[in-house]
Amino acid sequence: MRLLIPILVFILTVPIGLRAQLDPASLALRAYQSKDLEKAKELIDIAIDDEMSGARAKTWVFRGYIYKDIYKLDQLSPDGREKRDESIQSYKRALELDTDGEFTNDCMESLRFLSTTMYNDAARSLEGGDFKPAVEYYEKYKELARFRKPDLDFTGRDVEFKSFHASKLSLLYEKEQTNNPDSLSEEIVRLYKEVIELDSNDVQANYNLAIHYYNQGVHIIDNMDYELPFEELFLIQEKVMVLFQNALPYMLKAYKLTPGKSATLQGLSGIYFGLNDIEKSEFYQKKLEALEGK
Amino acid sequence: MLKFAQSTEWPAEYKQGEFVIAVINDDDLAKTLEMTTKTKGVNSQPVKVKRYTSSAEVEKCHVMYIGGKSAGEIEPFAKKANNYNTLIITETPGVIDRTSCINFVVSGSLIKYEMNTKLMKDQGLVVSNSLEKLALKVIK
């Protein structure tokens, strides 16, 4: 108790200018300027808990910057990504408090940068085969991009992301690197169909979906056990036919969009052959040979 | 084809030595059969695939597959095969009535088959009843 009194006396008697210097937000700025980001973070976190500082947009903008800079030093770790989330929340809070619009441009520009990093993380995760986080990052990217521009059209991005996702899953499927091929196949089909729904003229999605169905059929035939009873062989044949029939409209669409592509002609010839329509299979085979100058 | 061979019984003198499958007008099929039967025989007999280009070459065989689009192409080979206990298999419309034992046909998009059990009996072959049940058409 004896010590408390002098301290209180000291606080109450310090000049206003010095009190401002002791304001955690000001101290955070000082730490930030001297590139001590950890110290700046500690101080700005104290500042936002202060009733007055925490009610100022400026404090939150500054917090956004500090957390963003810490994230930029460590972009790939979970800890670094947590800092990014904090930065985003800080900018959002700043925008709520910034009734005069003084910091709107700065906040929006930072959020644009951070949303781009979300998209890059989504792409990086897909590339590395981490599909669940990839989708989560992509959804976060969209949420943030939509926050900045509520009318933003995601069609192009969705097509790009889903196509890449489907193609990565297809690679796994073809290499038989899965314990559950049926579920993986369903996922691939769903993604390509979603792409086609977004853009029915996407040649690659139409072609890839057709090839996926076709390859499934061929895979079944190649692995067919001829010791099976006739009844089962017929059932397998029916299953394979359904796959070839599923493939056909998508390959025809791909052909319609790019009639001069040899892969599509080859695909059509193969699908019709599988469907036992030899006449049409030969028709496309001849077109292919003509195209290749044979 | 191998499935039909497995479901058919040949006279005793055909149950020894190589199981001969003759292929006419379909080199791709001959190659596939060679590959498929490399490690797997038919009715415990090792398989030998032979290719014939003329009916004059035809010798004793267990199965003869004759590719061809018309009865005219098929008949000379079938006629020679009739000298042996041969299961004649084709995929030409209209030949099941008198030339072929088993004829593949496309029904919808599915490959099915017709059977001529009378001709099979004439060839000295005994066929499993289950094959008849699944056939699209049976000539008795």
Q: Which residue of B has its CA nearest to A243?
A: B109
Q: CA–CA separation, A172 vs A183, rounded Å?
A: 12
Domain span at B86:
2-139
Contacts of B134 in chain A (CB under 8 A): 230-231, 234
Q: CA–CA separation, B63 vs B24, rounded Å?
A: 11
CA angle A221, A227, A231 (to 5 degrees): 75
Nearest CB to B109 within list A229, A231, A275: A275
* Beta-carbon separation of A244 and B109 below 8 A: yes
* Beta-carbon separation of B109 and A241 below 8 A: yes
Q: Kindly report the number of other CB atoms within 10 A of residue A230's CB atom.
A: 18
One digit per residue, the tens of pLDDT, for chain A of length 294 reads 343 333 333 333 334 444 445 789 999 999 999 999 999 999 999 999 999 999 999 999 999 999 999 999 999 999 999 999 999 999 999 999 999 999 999 999 999 999 999 999 999 999 999 999 999 999 999 999 999 999 999 999 999 999 999 999 999 998 876 778 889 999 999 999 999 999 999 999 999 999 999 999 998 988 887 778 888 888 999 999 999 999 999 999 999 999 989 999 999 999 999 999 989 999 999 999 999 886
Stretch 85-124 of chain A: residues touching chain B, C-beta under 8 Å: none
Q: Does the predicted interface ipTM exceed a cut of 0.95?
A: no
Q: CA–CA separation, A193 vs A190, rounded Å?
A: 5
* Beta-carbon separation of B110 and A226 below 8 A: no
The tokens describing A95, both together, are 């925008």
Distance from the Cα of residue A208 to its chain's centroid: 20
Nearest CB to B3 within list A233, A241, A244: A233
At B24, which helix (H) or strand (E)?
A: strand B19-24
Contact with chain B for residue A233, Cβ under 8 A: yes
Extended beta strands in chain A, E state: none
Contact with chain A for residue B101, Cβ under 8 A: no
Q: CA–CA separation, A213 vs A247, rounded Å?
A: 5
Contact with chain A for residue B7, Cβ under 8 A: yes
For A275-285, letters b (16+ CB in 10 Å) and e give: bbbeeebeebb
Cα R_g (chain A), whole angstroms: 30
Q: Which among B62, B84, B50 is positioned nearest to B2, based on CA atoms? A: B62
The tokens describing A39, both together, are 């110290």
Q: CA–CA separation, A112 vs A99, rounded Å?
A: 20
Give the distance from residue B119's alpha carbon to the nearest chain A alpha carbon, in angstroms: 22
Q: Express each pLDDT in B47-58 by its tens digit.
A: 999 999 999 999
Q: Which among A242, A241, A264, A262 is positioned nearest to A251, based on CA atoms? A: A264
* Beta-carbon separation of A276 and B36 below 8 A: no
Contacts of B130 in chain A (CB under 8 A): 229-230
Contact of B19 with B36, CB cutoff 8 Å: no
Q: CA–CA separation, A259 vs A59, rounded Å?
A: 60
Give the distance from residue B110's alpha carbon to the nearest chain A alpha carbon, in angstroms: 7
pLDDT-based confidence at B124, cuts 50/70/90?
very high
Q: Which residue of B has its CA nearest to A229?
A: B3
**Tally of domains within chain B:** 1
CATH label of the domain that carries residue B43: 3.40.50.2300
Question: What's the pTM?
Answer: 0.79
| CATH architecture observed for domain A175-294 | Alpha Horseshoe (1.25)
Contact with chain B for residue A234, Cβ under 8 A: yes
Q: CA–CA separation, B12 vs A253, rounded Å?
A: 57
Q: CA–CA separation, A292 vs B2, rounded Å?
A: 37
For chain A, what are the domain ranges? Answer: 175-294
Q: CA–CA separation, B82 vs B60, rounded Å?
A: 10
